[in-house]
């Protein structure tokens, strides 16, 4: 692993200001540099190595305690981490608990502030400031805690409880099965709190647009369809529980007893919980309208500006992001025209979009065989890329990863593709989920880029490596800065091309199509939430400027609407990573090593973009000093 011999004090201090790096296609910004008085410098010099070691050890112990304290307050997060302590419970999502959490966060911040930052080594100082900033932002954002839609077509407790039970709640012994049943029986309380949350937001005028509710209701009804709810095939949860219990090394009478208890819990707890939730959702749906943007919220403009800053870790304004998007759309269109000429297509770019959109040669059949072929070929792309990793990376993940189709119960509303991290102990692999419900939305010319983004060298490399890092606190391993995470994912769609992948020009067109998709996101997200575009205007912009199917455009715009700012992260993050790489190349010339650059990006875990910039600047300085 490339390791810093030193990290200048400036790295640590940049975080005192929240997200202050500028990002743009031609920007060459640097993180703000601190100034220290002579007396401060003398005080820092006077600190002994023993004091630094002691205070750093104290701080790192605090960070570990704080991470586990937070995890222990969330039974659901424990399951994602592979911790089984409270696997018979759900999270408490009541308003009372929200205020308790605020007090808890303030108490944690006090403990962080009690650490003497002047007595920390460089890496611990970074951790201290990341912890400080994270808590300060969480506390500041308490005012916006209701500015979201707790159930929608992208995520929510209505679908995440089933997803967690299926994907995270393993059953390795009888106690695990009993905890699963306990969770089924605890669902009415959780969904009662969820209903209260929805009604509280409705009172504040924070109601999702009308299109959201049919998705939520459909997903909820899917979970209570099938046996034992009716005479159909086993329901999603019963099939999951039965399959897991079948693998236990216990006698049949114990298995039958567990199955009977699970069926009773499904009928007496799960079914009424979902029925009551559906009733609440139907009532709120009657109050919904067709206004789509965050501008409709009380203080909606301030909320959206804050969301953009949190998402991008920059101070870019909505107008600036909108203009970056338009510029990138124009650039990518020009690159696409080159490929259009290469394949000898006679017509305009928009006509080529229609051709690519409607050409059934790029669509596998919506059959079991067609879907399996897609999964097999996506896996093959990832396997081929895995063979080339030594050329690009020093640090590589130990955790395995697999490719799976999104489960039927959520495939109609889930996104096109996504990655699920491995468990903390590595016993559960990372998963690239491909949504194969609508095969028309998964053209084969985009398959290669999508596999790289979600799998290798994309999110699996980044997230699994982060979890496996040594020498940094756990909270940094599991931290998430969307612009960093998704910027890396988009960057790694381009990276394979630079070593000879995308040999098929149509596949390379697919790569550009996916980058174009992220550029359009900058335009449409800001259009909807700041410029008051309608859902239909957003869909039209996608259809007119990309080759994707209209169904893709509909899903994407609906995602923009329920997740303000989130989709701006990808392109802003990619632009910054590429800018930093080109800067390092220009400064180092022949001494530039792509493997070392990637270690600089990945080997300290997720960070805001301004901190990443300072890391790269330090790498440049250190390499130059050794030349």
**Percent of the chain at pLDDT exceeding 90:** 86
Q: Is residue 169 part of a domain?
A: yes
Residues 321-380 have pLDDT tens digits of: 999 999 999 999 999 999 999 999 999 999 999 999 999 999 999 999 999 999 999 999
pLDDT digits (tens, 9 = 90+) for 92-129: 999 999 999 999 999 999 999 999 999 999 999 999 99
Rounded mean pLDDT, 449-474:
94
Helix (H) or strand (E) run with residue 432 in it: strand 430-434
Whether 281 maps to a domain, the answer reads yes
- Are 525 and 567 in contact by the 8 Å Cβ rule? The answer is yes
In a domain, 423, yes or no: yes
Q: Does 545 fall in a domain?
A: yes
Arithmetic mean of pLDDT, 496-502? 97
pLDDT over 70 (residue 17)? no
Q: Tell me: do 534 and 433 sit in the same domain.
A: yes
**Number of structural domains found in the chain:** 3
124 and 177 part of one domain: no
SS3 430: strand
| Same domain for 311 and 221 | no
b/e string for 56-92 if b means 16 or more Cβ within 10 A?
bebbbebbeebbeeebebbbbbbbbbebbebbbbbbb
d(CA 75, CA 77): 6
Domain annotation covers residue 493? yes
Distances (CA, A) of 312 to 174, 344, 566, 579: 45, 39, 8, 15
Q: Out of 270, 294, 318, pick the residue that ends a domain.
A: 294
Identify the domain boundary among 146, 167, 185.
146
524-544 pLDDT, tens per residue? Answer: 999 999 999 999 999 999 999
pLDDT at position 84 is 95
The rounded Cα 26 to chain-centroid distance in angstroms is 26
Asked whether residue 588 is domain-assigned, the answer is no
Checking if the pLDDT of 27 tops 50, the result is no
Q: What is the pLDDT of residue 45?
A: 57
What pLDDT score does 33 carry? 34
Q: Are 252 and 329 members of one domain? A: no
Residue range 283-308, pLDDT digits in tens: 999 999 999 999 999 999 999 999 99
Three-class SS state of 341: helix
pLDDT tens-digit profile of 59-82? 999 999 999 999 999 999 999 988
State pLDDT tens for residues 426-436: 788 999 999 99
Whether 306 and 145 have beta carbons less than 8 Å apart is answered as no
> What are 150-170's pLDDT values in tens digits?
999 989 999 999 999 999 999
User: For all residues of the chain together, what is the average pLDDT?
Assistant: 91
Q: Are residues 366 and 439 in the same domain?
A: yes
Q: Do 193 and 310 belong together in one domain?
A: no
- Segment 451-463 shows an average pLDDT of 96
Tokens read off for 236: 């999603």
Query: Do 410 and 481 belong to one domain?
Result: yes
Q: Are residues 547 and 357 in contact, defined by beta-carbon separation less than 8 angstroms?
A: yes
Position 549 confidence tier, pLDDT thresholds 50, 70, 90: confident
Judge whether residue 36 has pLDDT over 50.
no
Higher pLDDT: 41 or 366? It is: 366
Q: Answer yes or no: do 269 and 343 share one domain.
A: no
Asked if pLDDT for residue 26 goes beyond 80, the answer is no
pLDDT of res. 38:
42
pTM, two decimal places: 0.86
Q: Which residues pair with 404 in a beta bridge?
A: 433
Task: Give the model's pLDDT for residue 136.
Answer: 97
Q: Which structural domain range is residue 56 located in?
A: 50-146
Element (H, E) at 44: helix 38-46
pLDDT score for 253: 97
Q: Of 573, 592, 611, which residue sits at a domain end? A: 573
Return the closest-CA partner of residue 542 out of 253, 551, 416, 267: 551
Residue 118 lies in a domain: yes
Task: Judge whether residue 149 has pLDDT over 50.
Answer: yes
Q: Is residue 495 part of a domain?
A: yes
* Backbone φ, ψ for residue 156 (5° rounding): 145, 160
Q: What is the pLDDT of residues 168-208, one digit of tens each?
A: 999 999 999 999 999 999 999 999 999 999 999 999 999 99
The answer on 567 and 452 residing in a single domain is: yes
pLDDT at 217 over 80: yes
Helix (H) / strand (E) containing 247: none
Same domain, 135 and 281: no
pLDDT, average across residues 461-467: 93
Check: CB of residue 417 under 8 Å from CB of residue 382. Answer: no
Residue 416: pLDDT band (50, 70, 90) is: confident
Task: State whether 186 and 328 are in the same domain.
Answer: no
Q: Which among 431, 489, 427 is positioned nearest to 458, based on CA atoms?
A: 489
548 and 428 share one domain = yes
């Amino acid at each position: 692993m490339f390791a810093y011999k030193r990290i200048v004090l400036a790295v640590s201090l940049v975080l005192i200001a929240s997200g202050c790096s500028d990002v743009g296609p031609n920007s060459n910004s640097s993180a703000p540099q601190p100034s220290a008085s002579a007396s401060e410098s003398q005080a820092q010099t006077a600190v002994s190595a023993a004091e630094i070691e002691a205070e750093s050890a104290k701080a790192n112990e605090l960070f570990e305690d704080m991470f586990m304290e937070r995890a222990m307050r969330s039974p659901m997060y424990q399951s994602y981490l592979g911790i089984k302590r409270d696997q018979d419970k759900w999270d408490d999502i009541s308003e009372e608990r929200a205020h308790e959490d605020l007090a808890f966060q303030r108490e944690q911040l006090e403990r962080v502030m009690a650490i003497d930052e002047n007595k920390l080594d460089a890496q611990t100082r970074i951790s201290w400031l990341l912890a400080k900033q994270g808590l300060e932002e969480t506390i500041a954002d308490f005012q916006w805690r209701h500015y979201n839609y707790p159930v929608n077509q992208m995520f929510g407790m209505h679908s995440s409880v089933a997803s967690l039970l299926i994907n995270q709640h393993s059953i390795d012994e009888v106690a695990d099965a009993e905890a699963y049943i306990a969770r089924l029986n605890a669902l009415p309380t959780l969904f009662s709190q969820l209903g209260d949350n929805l009604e509280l937001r409705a009172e504040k005028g924070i109601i999702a647009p009308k299109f959201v509710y049919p998705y939520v209701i459909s997903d909820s009804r899917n979970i209570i369809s099938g046996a034992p709810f009716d005479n159909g095939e086993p329901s999603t949860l019963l099939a999951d529980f039965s399959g897991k219990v079948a693998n236990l090394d216990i006698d049949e009478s114990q298995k039958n007893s567990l199955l009977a208890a699970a069926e009773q819990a499904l009928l007496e707890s799960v079914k009424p919980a979902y029925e009551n939730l559906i009733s609440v959702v139907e009532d709120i749906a009657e109050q919904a309208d067709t206004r789509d943007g965050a501008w409709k919220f009380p203080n909606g403009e301030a909320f959206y500006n804050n969301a953009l800053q949190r998402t991008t870790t920059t101070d870019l304004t909505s107008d600036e992001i909108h203009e970056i998007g338009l510029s990138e759309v124009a650039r990518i269109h020009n690159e696409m025209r080159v490929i259009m000429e290469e394949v000898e297509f006679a017509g305009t770019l928009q006509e080529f979009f229609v051709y690519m959109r409607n050409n059934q040669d790029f669509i596998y059949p919506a059959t079991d065989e067609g879907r399996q072929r897609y999964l097999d070929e996506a896996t093959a792309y990832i396997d081929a890329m895995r063979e080339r990793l030594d050329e690009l990376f020093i640090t590589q993940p130990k955790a395995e990863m697999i490719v799976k189709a999104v489960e039927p119960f959520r495939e109609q509303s889930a996104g096109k593709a996504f990655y699920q991290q491995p468990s903390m102990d590595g016993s559960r692999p990372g998963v690239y989920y491909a949504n194969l419900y609508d095969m028309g939305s998964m053209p084969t010319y985009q398959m290669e880029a999508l596999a790289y983004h979600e799998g290798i060298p994309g999110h699996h490399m980044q997230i699994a490596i982060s979890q496996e890092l040594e020498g940094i606190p756990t909270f940094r391993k599991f931290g998430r800065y969307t612009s960093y995470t998704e910027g890396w994912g988009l960057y790694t769609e381009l990276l394979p091309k630079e070593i000879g992948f995308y040999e098929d020009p149509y596949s390379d067109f697919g790569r550009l199509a996916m980058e174009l998709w992220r550029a359009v996101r900058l335009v449409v997200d800001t259009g909807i939430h700041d410029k008051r575009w309608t859902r239909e205007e957003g869909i039209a912009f996608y259809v007119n400027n990309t080759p994707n199917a209209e169904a893709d455009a509909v899903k994407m715009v609906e995602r923009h609407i329920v997740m303000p700012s989130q989709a701006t992260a990808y392109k802003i993050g990619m632009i910054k990573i590429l800018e930093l790489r080109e800067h390092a190349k220009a400064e180092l010339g022949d001494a530039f090593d792509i493997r070392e650059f990637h270690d600089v990006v990945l080997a300290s875990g997720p960070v805001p973009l301004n901190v990443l910039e300072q890391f790269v600047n330090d790498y440049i300085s250190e390499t130059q000093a050794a030349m």
